[in-house]
Amino acid sequence: MSPNRQMALMVQARQASTFDPTLLTHIIHDGEENTSSRRAALARVESALGITDTMQLPHLHTGLNRRELYLEGLRRGRAIVTDMLQHNHTRFVNLTERSQLTNATPFGLNFLMFRRTINLQGTTEQKRYWLPLIDRMEINGCYAQTELGHGSHVRGIETTATFDSAAGEFVLNSPTVTATKCWPGGLGLSCSHAVVAARLVTRGVDHGVHWFVVQIRNISDSTPIKGVTLGDLGLKMAYNGTCNGYAHFNLLRVPGSSLLAAHAQVLPDGTYVRNEAGAPENLAKQSYATMLEVRRVVIHWAAFGLAQPLTVATRYAVVREQGALMFSQPTVPEVAILEYKTQHQRLLTLISQAYAILFASKELDDCFEEYQQEKREGKLGRLSSIHAVSAGLKAWATQAVAAGAEEARKMCGGHGYLVISGLPEMVATACAAATFEGENYVMWQQTLRYLFKQIGVLQAGKMLDCDMTESLSGYQKWLQVKEEVSHLLPESDQLSEPATLLKIFKHHFHRLLSAAHFFYSQQTRTSSPAEAWNASLTRLLPAAHAYIEYLVLKFMQRRVAVVGQAQPSLLPVLSRLTELFALTTITNPGPSFTSTSFAEDHILTADHFLQMRARIDELLAALLPDIIALTDAWDFTDASLCSALGCRDGNVYQRLMSWTKQLPVNQQDLAREAWAIEGGIGEFLRGDITSGTKSRL
């Protein structure tokens, strides 16, 4: 391909960088060695899939129907699983070769949740039996919890597993239409097995929800096991490479050994026995731990899920020349859209958010590793705080990704609306995360509930959880506050100092937490705790949101300091990005329903806001030369982006036209069909008019 103007613009923008993006890639992908082995694995998989020619229209974008989208997902899922089995690694257990969550493939839940559930709920013997089958991919399992009428609220589950002591079997049944298992990834068409959440009933007593391993399809001929009705939920906004499905159980008999019995078992005579490990508090902690692990994966993904559309939008902004600045001379050529100040600001603000999520995710992972170490020593103390943070961070990050991905798409104008831009799929993929693995409005509440408990600890004069000491230091003064008061930022505090910015975030968090707690306490005087909580919800969520934002800034500042010590050449750009994140979070209101403006804190004067906006301008100007390097650093392959607008070479127009011409719709003669069919266009139109020759006009 001979270089054209767009490609030249891209080379130029890439050369402007003030740092070596490879060094940042090593930070993002956990070291040089891991970066290389990641690249090697991607190269093998993409070569096996035959998707390395960037001028060839990706099969995914050929206008597929439900069936074809699923079969393409299957082909891709096979490729990464095969690579893991052949090369003995686990790189694609969490994220696919396209940096999507692996539940986007028909095999993803096998490792992500099916294996985890057996590992946590099964006895030693059960684990010894099932886990090797999973690891060798001899079975493919899914996670069947939610039902048509019941989401994440486990208590609402209707499916029953009734013990028949005469046969030593459980009888699985879906008593109503709303009891139909609904949504599990892979359930519709692809799985041989499932872990099924069902109410254990024995001797006429309902012992609540337990987990059962159940075969759902005959492996020999792929038909559903008798007693199970299976199906696909059809097209979704995205994730169409897998088959989110439904399952209806009609008195299906499964062996007694199907019950995952680490915590409770049923004796042959039907006696229900709860093990020591099955004590309610331990069970709750176990289930916290599972959710936490999955949420960590979601938060980790979120950084990539935002960086992908931003990589596309940034590259496009560099090469897309469109329009002129207002008041410029009619003769000036069109300018690259990155030159528009708003485009420049939107892109860099969102890029700072992607890095903020990345660094927060790494800090959370470190916390979790430390906790795992402590757990081995029998200390479970930090679990509650890590759980509260992970819940809130999941909500915050997935909200940022969904909004940011769509903003990035809008920044690509009309072409960003085309499926071949890759952006619609990225947005639709991002939007799912606000709902799954903990609906965000439920997540915020979990975070806040923990914070209220810690306020209770503080009020009782007891010791805060160790992770909360710093977050709640100085909160004492808010305990006395009955009405909101102003605390203007001292003049000695320089806005340019990271510590000052963190202080502003902390004050925002403390003020909202105090206001939420005060409001809730007032409500409890006249209402039940449940009513009071619900009546306060619109005050509670912003407090949880502010807490997470404070933590994210703290995490980012801390991580950037560490990175900067190891790689001083990265310190200037990452410090600017951190400061930009902080300042834009203060000045640009976030999503409306869960946040409250920093301006309501009355800690900052009008003059502070002027200063902050001036500083944002400086940061935007300083970061502009690095904008391509900051997106290149994520190291997405062209094949993984699947975008006619976002390839590394910047050759957008030739690729757009080339891909478009390869579309099946332009290979077939669809126009002839549309005009000729009964009720087609041809029945309207009458005779040629001015067909290329002189008319009477």
Candidate segments 143-151, 278-286, 307-315, 467-475, binder of a second copy by CB under 8 A: 143-151
Residue 429, phi then psi, degrees to nearest 5: -65, -45
Closest by alpha carbon to 319, among 660, 654, 672?
Answer: 654
Residue 206, phi then psi, degrees to nearest 5: -90, 115
- Is there binding between residue 63 and a second copy (CB under 8 A)? yes
Q: Which of residues 396-415 bind a second copy (CB under 8 A)?
A: 402, 406-407, 409-410, 413-414
Q: Which of residues 656-675 bind a second copy (CB under 8 A)?
A: 656-657, 660-661, 663-666, 668, 670-675
- Is there binding between residue 2 and a second copy (CB under 8 A)? no
- Residue type at 433 in one-letter notation: A
Nearer to a second copy, 133 or 457 (CB): 133
Binding test (CB under 8 A) with a second copy, winner from 23, 37, 120, 149? 149
CB of 279 to a second copy, least distance (A): 17
Question: Residue 158: helix, strand or coil by DSSP?
Answer: coil
Q: Which residues are annotated as a binding site for FAD?
A: 146, 185
Q: Which of residues 219-238 bind a second copy (CB under 8 A)?
A: 219-223, 225-227, 230-237
**Active-site residue identified among 437, 579, 600, 673:** 437
Binding test (CB under 8 A) with a second copy, winner from 339, 365, 374, 638? 339
Q: Are 364 and 400 in contact (CB under 8 A)?
A: no
- Is there binding between residue 250 and a second copy (CB under 8 A)? no
Q: Are 144 and 184 in contact (CB under 8 A)?
A: yes
Q: How far is CA 192 from CA 142, 187, 279, 307, in A?
A: 8, 9, 32, 35
CB of 641 to a second copy, least distance (A): 17
Per-residue DSSP letter, 647 = -
Torsion angle of C-alpha atoms 631, 635, 637, 641, degrees rounded to 10: -40
- Is there binding between residue 61 and a second copy (CB under 8 A)? yes
Which residues, in sequence order, are CB contacts of 385 under 8 Å at separation 6+? 450, 465, 466, 467, 468
Nearer to a second copy, 17 or 384 (CB): 384
Q: Are 111 and 142 in contact (CB under 8 A)?
A: no
Beta bridge mates, 171: 162, 253
Binding test (CB under 8 A) with a second copy, winner from 25, 340, 562, 622? 340
The CA distance from 275 to 124, in Å, is 14
Binding test (CB under 8 A) with a second copy, winner from 33, 53, 138, 497? 138
Candidate segments 209-217, 275-283, 368-376, 492-500, binder of a second copy by CB under 8 A: 209-217
- Is there binding between residue 209 and a second copy (CB under 8 A)? no
Binding test (CB under 8 A) with a second copy, winner from 120, 139, 209, 561? 139
Nearer to a second copy, 400 or 563 (CB): 400
Candidate segments 15-23, 91-99, 153-161, 302-310, binder of a second copy by CB under 8 A: 153-161
The CA distance from 436 to 305, in Å, is 15
Q: Are 217 and 224 in contact (CB under 8 A)?
A: yes
Q: Which residues are annotated as a binding site?
A: 146, 185
Q: Which of residues 266-305 bind a second copy (CB under 8 A)?
A: none
CB of 466 to a second copy, least distance (A): 26
CB of 11 to a second copy, least distance (A): 19
Nearer to a second copy, 160 or 421 (CB): 421
Q: What is the DSSP string of 68-119?
A: HHHHHHHHHHHHHHHHHHHHT--TTTTB-TTSSBGGGSTTHHIIIIIIHHHH
Q: Which of residues 630-659 bind a second copy (CB under 8 A)?
A: 653-654, 656-657
Nearer to a second copy, 214 or 367 (CB): 214
Q: How far is CA 696 from CA 317, 689, 690, 691, 692, in A?
A: 47, 10, 8, 12, 12
Q: Which of residues 474-533 bind a second copy (CB under 8 A)?
A: 484, 486, 528-531, 533
Q: How far is CA 397 from CA 102, 157, 400, 425, in A?
A: 18, 29, 5, 18
The CA distance from 80 to 63, in Å, is 24
CB of 55 to a second copy, least distance (A): 14
For a second copy, how many residues bind (rule: CB under 8 A)? 187
Binding test (CB under 8 A) with a second copy, winner from 38, 44, 78, 648? 78
Nearer to a second copy, 382 or 545 (CB): 545
Nearer to a second copy, 277 or 657 (CB): 657
* Active site annotation includes 618: no
Binding test (CB under 8 A) with a second copy, winner from 25, 56, 152, 500? 152
Nearer to a second copy, 431 or 489 (CB): 431
CB of 33 to a second copy, least distance (A): 30
Burial (CB count <10 Å: 0-12, 13-18, 19+), residue 62: middle
Question: Residue 249: helix, strand or coil by DSSP?
Answer: strand
Q: Which residue has the tokens 């059809």?
A: 234
Beta bridge mates, 658: none
Q: What is the CA radius of gyration of the chain?
A: 28
Nearer to a second copy, 267 or 566 (CB): 267
CB of 607 to a second copy, least distance (A): 8
Just list the catalytic residues.
437
